[in-house]
Amino acid sequence: QQQQQQVKPKYEKYHCNGPSTGDYIVGLTREASVDRVVGSLPTYPRNLQKFEVLGNMFAATLSPQDVLQLLDYDAVEYVECDGKVSIGGRRN
């Protein structure tokens, strides 16, 4: 039996305003399969929601390792961090 070799991601870190494990929206190329991309991650994402009618994309709670791996995939067009919006002040 051959042992599967883990591929080291091209990227070592990324920046998102929010917690290290957070909610993300991931856009895929037209021909990519959400199930195949999600199934290839080290851990199955929590809160997975598929938006195939709106476009080939999904939203989920992802770990930093999942995000780094997704950034390496040719099938991934973008990874968007779903962070909180905070207000600095209010005008009178």
Q: Are 87 and 79 in contact (CB under 8 A)?
A: no
What would the mean pLDDT of 20-25 be, rounded to a whole number? Answer: 79
Whether residue 49 has pLDDT greater than 70: yes
Q: Are 80 and 17 in contact (CB under 8 A)?
A: no
Q: Which residue has the higher pLDDT, 1 or 57?
A: 57
What would the mean pLDDT of 39-53 be, rounded to a whole number? Answer: 89
Over the range 2-26, which residues count as b (16 or more CB within 10 Å of their CB) and which as e? eeeeeeeeeeeeeebeeeeebbbeb
How high is the pLDDT of residue 6? 44
How high is the pLDDT of residue 1? 41
Q: Tokens in use for 85?
A: 């919006």
How high is the pLDDT of residue 41? 92
How high is the pLDDT of residue 5? 41
